[in-house]
Structure 1
């Protein structure tokens, strides 16, 4: 009986630690999953784009993600295989 209570307390503590770690990662901007569901491949004029972020593939997502913040405030996922997006990525990496 005492072993069951101890085991339950240990499991609850581990679950709480896992949840709090996941929450702390999200609060510092690390997503635990892919952010892009739909990717845009059509050309978007650079004057409409305010910022571009490149997220390499990793444990959170198997695909590299390129997210453009538009001057209107919207976020658009860009297709990293589109020719014009490859040029944008090269310019970002050169900086």
Structure 2
């Protein structure tokens, strides 16, 4: 009986390649918040807040979510040049927005 269980386990492991985690992410089974992203520029005057979620165990890619003043949430591509600039300037913007 133990030999059959070991054989069955071996067959299951041999038939499921390591890339199955990518399928889980594509199917939305990991907790990524962005199903799709935009590369279109969004003027900062429309922002209510910016949320940066680094890559980790729950989502394999970094995510940048912009909440607009219209309460809409937009996921932007973190590799877009304007988003990279925004992320670079974000610490300075926070310092200016902090009350004195």
Deviation, 1:93, is: 4.3
Matched, 1:76 2:74: yes
Matches within 5 A, 1:1-95: 33-93=31-91
* TM-score, normalised relative to structure 2: 0.60
- The CA deviation at 1:91 is 1.4
What is the count of residue pairs matched by the alignment?
A: 64
Aligned with 1:51: secondary structure? strand
Cα distance between partner residues in 2 of 1:93 and 1:86: 13
Partners in 2 of 1:93 and 1:61 — Cα distance?
Answer: 24
Q: Offset of 1:51 from its aligned partner?
A: 0.7
List runs of 5+ in structure 1 lacking aligned partners.
Answer: 1-31
RMSD: 1.3
Instruction: Tell me the alpha carbon deviations over residues 40-66 of structure 1, each in whole angstroms, 9 at most, x when there is no partner.
Output: 111011111111010000001000000
What residue ranges of structure 2 are gaps of 5+ in the alignment?
A: 1-29, 95-100
Shift of 1:92: 1.9
